[in-house]
Amino acid sequence: MSTVHNPVLPGTYPDPSVCRVGDEYYLVSSTFEYVPGLPVHRSRDLVHWEHVGFVIDRPGMLDHDGVPSSDGLYAPTLRHHDGTFWLVCTFLGQREGARGGNFVVTATDPAGPWSDPVWLDVDGIDPSLFFDDDGRVWAHGTRGPASPEWPDQTEVWVRELDPATMTLVWPERVVWNGAVRGAVWAEGPHIYRHDGAYYLLAAEGGTEFHHAVCVARADAVTGPYTGYAGNPVLTHRHLGQGCDVVGVGHADLVQGPDGSWWALLLAMRPYGGLHVNLGRETFLVPVEWQDGWPVFAPGVGRVTTQVEVPFASTGPLGVTQGATSGVVPPGDPRWTSVRGLPGAFATPRGDGWDVRLLPAAPTEPVASAFLGVRQQHADVDVRATVRVALADGEDVGLMVRQSEDDHVRVFLTGGPEDGPEGAEGGRRVVAVHRRGGVDTLVGEATLEASSGSVDGNDAGNSGDADDTDDAVVLAVRARGQDYALLVGSPRVEPVEVAVVDGRALESMTVGGFVGLWVGVFATSNGAPTSTVAHVERFEYVPAC
């Protein structure tokens, strides 16, 4: 018996959906406004996950530009049938002239390429697919009813899908409104068949502290469904706000080759109070069938940070588990950008990137030059070594991002003394905390060009000068809810410019559905520019 750590995918990997093909499992999760979108992971033991590709990974598949933060790609469902992988998903935040709603894509290889989206003529969110033994395909999902009985009431619909035409062809049946009368957001539905009966698994209570997993059963795929008397089958809301894992829900079931059953689901690990900087993560829970119903975490009844997996291997964890730390090179699957693919502004160069400044600022809900990774550890050091000659009004820096309206940034800003020929005097470094769309200056410093020291106060040399005089090191040191913003040079250890309270950044405080990203941004703040910043190194090092 192997005891492994939960979550199996730390950081913002929410709404997991899983399927098994032979001895291998495949999993996708939501990515909202971040692209490439919908990462695909593969595992042979449900614990060690290897990134194999993205579903939304090329221009023209979807138009993210202008999508608000925490909108975009929601709640995918991944299934496999007769040699083809099927994925359905919701794309929210559609703008005038851009398509949104629910779509389906297919692939013969989960690593891609995936087909272009085919849009389904149905409202709502969280679509799913069920392939029945008779060859029929049933789509289902969530939406608000025409005449709700209570605020945020939803209903689950079921309708047949013609796989040849990708159209919904059977009259719709509404089969579920939630296990608890008055419960909000009965969502994330998945239908399964087990021992001749049909089971509907759904979340309810809202994807936050009151989240829960409920189940119903029927003799036909279209119902009527009868809820389990023991609902909810899994929740942590009764454990209180001091629990180490909260917000448990949005589960998907999978059966192993050995006949065992498991659930992949989302939950959050709060720290510093009920604050969830790491976002909604993917956890693993054993499931047993008892008296015709699924029992989650039998004998325990809750999601734990350690879980026993009899068939877990002892190999190294994938990069998404955080076992690999240090330089994050181009090609690492952790890299994502906001509303536009990285290739639109970033080109790999050695261990780093050439990042072209874009006129769009990271404070705007449009595609901007931001290149970052998920925060996956409460205590972590992130450093970016940057070379750039900035024109007046241009900014390049490091950003801890929750959204365009709530984030912190520490950055070099161009002035008259920092032109294309390089800085003759000091280079100005600014630290800003943006809250609710309002910037507040929280610190600033001058990096002396001659010595690399900050504010003329040399923190000590750590190597030869060589040609490093124009390189700047920008850093974030997160220790729990304290986020220190630092600046230095390759020859001088970074010194603190400001410290920001991370509790003012995360979704329980500011709203939204995502955890924090840390990355490089580069903007000319609306002006035309040809400036390119060379990010020589980007390092992510857990402090553990």
Residues catalogued as catalytic: 15, 187
CA distance 511 to 45: 34
CA distance 439 to 425: 27
Collapsing DSSP to helix, strand or coil, 302 comes out as coil
CA distance 449 to 471: 9
CA distance 45 to 20: 11
**Token pair for 251:** 């589960």
Would you say 17 and 282 are in contact if contact means Cβ atoms under 8 Å apart? no
Residue 246's φ and ψ, nearest 5 degrees, are -130, 170
Sorted by sequence, the CB contacts under 8 Å of residue 265 that are 6+ apart come out as 16, 213, 234, 248, 249, 250, 251, 252, 282, 283, 285, 303
Cα–Cα distance list, 250 to 283, 402, 435, 450, 537 (Å): 11, 22, 30, 55, 37
Sorted by sequence, the CB contacts under 8 Å of residue 150 that are 6+ apart come out as 181, 182, 184
Taking Cα atoms as reference points, which of 221, 237, 176, 182 lies closest to residue 202? 176
